[in-house]
């Protein structure tokens, strides 16, 4: 069998006989000839069926409908000057078909795939996500996401990091959100939870001496779906040993500048180096800890990064209890150590955020690496000794075996790609996102389970 040619490679094969495969994007009958736009993963290609060609392909082509899957044999020919289509990568050529094979038929899709599908009802788009993803915009978004992720992976490797996978079934790690729980079949009445982030494991990788860890990490948070949240999302999670805040800011800033120049060279950065604001300055000047510092908010190519530093260590909830503003593993700002006992609410954490165009891209901090201080923070957060031991005994113990000073960061991949792609929400840059209320209309998740499965998991559903 003749080797298949990608659509975009036909431009280099004028006069050759080729076999192309893909989907019928559109069919146009022009009296004596039929045109189809054939779509494959590389793009569109015009194929011509003319009655004088041998093999009967012309008659057969009359039965083609949108989204049929076909294999076509034919000759690549140069288009005449007048018929060149500058909008297509293959616009200088077309294939004159001699053979047509229909590999599969297609029902009429529930919405048009050659238009911007953002106008289509989202429930329908998500139910037929595999069709929605056929559209050019969604293909481009996922290709951009792939570029961003592979840029980060390469950059991390070039800078001495190794990627380490951490478990998905874990014991809870408190980061302010509710956790998804997974009943254990083998240990009746016990539960795993899904990680809100690899926070504790990455810190333990530092205790383990890896010094530079990263992971393209899936994170899970069972939150009420407000705004543009998803129950699962992806972070570029990383951690470094023997560093101070400045090292992490510098590393991250250089990485982001290079990332933009590499994957989105049409974008321009409003300010380099990235401006730095303290939390107090940001709140006083902009009334938010994620200020939008763009000079022209209508310019789709402007990217305004900034740092927000020195977040408060603690915040008071409405019920008067104290909670860690970021998470309880953040180190105390060196200048505020003295005030931990006398005035804890005024203590700053050695924590920092990276903000882009008014979105929080990432939070991070230098971490506590000594048992005594970590224990003290847990106490200030109102935890009793036995609770601390039960929840965090392993961290405290690890800190007693030569834990190095360390710190890290975790930029959100979905938001980065959303902003680079100019999309209004992160669902547009995720292959299979959930609806606003955390459902998957395609698979039908979440769903009930048969009584046997529930019984094995020791789960009883109460109304």
If one asks whether residue 374 binds ligand ASP (CB under 6 A), the answer comes out as no
**Contact (CB, 8 A) for 304 and 290:** no
Residue closer to ligand ASP, measured from CB, 10 or 362: 362
Is 221 annotated as contributing to ligand binding? yes
Is 125 annotated as contributing to ligand binding? no
Q: How far is the CB of 365 from ligand ASP (least distance, A)?
A: 5
If one asks whether residue 409 binds ligand ASP (CB under 6 A), the answer comes out as yes
Among 43, 364, 411, 433, binds ligand ASP (CB under 6 A): 364
Is 146 annotated as contributing to ligand binding? no
Q: How many Cα atoms sit within 13 Å of 47 on the Cβ side?
A: 35
**Contact (CB, 8 A) for 148 and 420:** yes
Is 181 annotated as contributing to ligand binding? no
* Residues whose CB is less than 8 angstroms from the CB of residue 390 and which lie 6 or more positions away in sequence, other chains included: none
Instruction: Give the integer Cα–Cα distance in Å for 326 and 353.
Output: 10
**Contact (CB, 8 A) for 409 and 326:** no
Is 175 annotated as contributing to ligand binding? yes
- The contact mask relative to ligand ASP for 141-180 (x = CB under 6 A, - = no) is ----------------------------------x-----
Among 24, 95, 410, 420, binds ligand ASP (CB under 6 A): 410
**Contact (CB, 8 A) for 104 and 389:** no
Residue closer to ligand ASP, measured from CB, 7 or 215: 215
Scan residues 195-214 and list those touching ligand ASP (CB under 6 A): 197, 199
Scan residues 245-274 and list those touching ligand ASP (CB under 6 A): none
Residue closer to ligand ASP, measured from CB, 88 or 206: 206
Residue closer to ligand ASP, measured from CB, 117 or 197: 197
If one asks whether residue 215 binds ligand ASP (CB under 6 A), the answer comes out as no
Residue closer to ligand ASP, measured from CB, 213 or 305: 213
If one asks whether residue 433 binds ligand ASP (CB under 6 A), the answer comes out as no
**Contact (CB, 8 A) for 68 and 105:** yes
Is 413 annotated as contributing to ligand binding? yes
Where are the strands (E) in 199-253, listed by range? 212-220, 232-241
If one asks whether residue 350 binds ligand ASP (CB under 6 A), the answer comes out as no
Instruction: Give the integer Cα–Cα distance in Å for 432 and 133.
Output: 9
Where are the strands (E) in 146-211, listed by range? 162-163, 181-183, 191-193
Q: How far is the CB of 257 from ligand ASP (least distance, A)?
A: 20
- Cβ neighbours around 30 below 10 Å, total: 8
Measured in whole angstroms, the distance separating CA 45 from the mean position of its chain's CA atoms is 31
Residues paired with residue 102 on neighbouring β-strands, in sequence order: 70
**Contact (CB, 8 A) for 234 and 414:** yes
Range in contact with ligand ASP (rule: CB under 6 A) among 78-86, 299-307, 363-371, 438-446: 363-371
If one asks whether residue 135 binds ligand ASP (CB under 6 A), the answer comes out as no
Is 230 annotated as contributing to ligand binding? yes
If one asks whether residue 365 binds ligand ASP (CB under 6 A), the answer comes out as yes
Q: How many residues at the interface with ligand ASP, by CB under 6 A? A: 9
* Residues whose CB is less than 8 angstroms from the CB of residue 57 and which lie 6 or more positions away in sequence, other chains included: 49, 72, 97, 98, 99, 100
Is 353 annotated as contributing to ligand binding? no
Instruction: Give the integer Cα–Cα distance in Å for 78 and 236.
Output: 46
Is 439 annotated as contributing to ligand binding? no
Scan residues 175-194 and list those touching ligand ASP (CB under 6 A): 175
Question: How big is the chain, counted in residues?
Answer: 463
Is 222 annotated as contributing to ligand binding? yes
Q: Which residues bind ligand ASP (CB under 6 A)?
A: 175, 197, 199, 363-365, 408-410
């Amino acid at each position: 069998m003749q080797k298949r040619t990608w659509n975009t490679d036909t431009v280099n094969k004028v006069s050759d006989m080729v076999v192309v495969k893909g989907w019928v994007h559109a069919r146009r009958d022009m009296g004596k000839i039929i045109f189809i736009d054939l779509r494959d993963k590389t793009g569109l290609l015009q194929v011509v069926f003319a009655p004088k060609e041998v093999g009967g392909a012309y008659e057969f082509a009359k039965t083609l409908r949108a989204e049929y899957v076909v294999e076509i044999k034919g000759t690549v020919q140069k288009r005449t000057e007048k018929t060149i289509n500058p909008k297509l990568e293959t616009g200088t050529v077309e294939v004159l078909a001699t053979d047509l094979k229909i590999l599969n038929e297609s029902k009429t899709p529930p919405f048009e795939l050659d238009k911007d599908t953002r106008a289509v009802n989202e429930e329908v788009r998500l139910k037929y996500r595999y069709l929605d993803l056929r559209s050019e915009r969604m293909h481009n978004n996922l290709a951009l996401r792939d570029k961003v992720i592979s840029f980060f992976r390469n950059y991390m490797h070039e800078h001495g990091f190794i990627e380490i996978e951490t478990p998905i079934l874990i014991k809870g790690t408190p980061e302010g959100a509710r956790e998804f729980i997974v009943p254990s079949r083998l240990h009746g009445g016990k539960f795993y939870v899904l990680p809100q982030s690899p926070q504790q494991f990455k810190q333990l990788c530092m205790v383990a001496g890896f010094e530079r860890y990263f992971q393209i990490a899936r994170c899970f948070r069972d939150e009420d779906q407000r705004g543009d949240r998803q129950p699962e999302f992806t972070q570029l999670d990383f951690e470094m040993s023997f560093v101070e805040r400045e090292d992490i800011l510098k590393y991250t800033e250089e990485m982001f500048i290079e990332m933009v120049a590499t994957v989105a060279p049409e974008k321009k950065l409003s300010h380099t180096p990235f401006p730095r604001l303290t939390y107090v300055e940001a709140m006083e000047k902009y009334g938010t800890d994620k200020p939008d510092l763009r000079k022209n908010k209508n310019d789709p190519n402007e990217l305004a990064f900034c740092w927000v530093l020195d977040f408060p260590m603690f915040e008071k909830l409405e019920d008067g209890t104290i909670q860690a503003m970021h998470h309880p593993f953040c180190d105390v700002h060196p200048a505020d150590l003295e005030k931990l006992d006398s005035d804890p609410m005024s203590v700053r954490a050695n924590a920092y955020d990276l903000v882009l165009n008014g979105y929080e891209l990432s939070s991070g901090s230098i971490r506590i690496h000594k048992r005594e201080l970590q224990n003290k923070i847990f106490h200030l957060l109102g935890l009793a000794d036995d609770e601390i031991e039960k929840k965090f005994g392993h961290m405290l113990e690890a800190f007693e075996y030569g834990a190095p000073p360390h710190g890290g960061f975790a930029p959100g991949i979905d938001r980065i790609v959303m902003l680079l792609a100019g999309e209004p929400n992160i669902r547009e840059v995720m292959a299979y996102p959930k609806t606003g209320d955390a459902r998957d209309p395609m698979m039908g998740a979440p769903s009930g389970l048969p009584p046997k499965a529930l019984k094995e998991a020791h789960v009883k559903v109460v109304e």
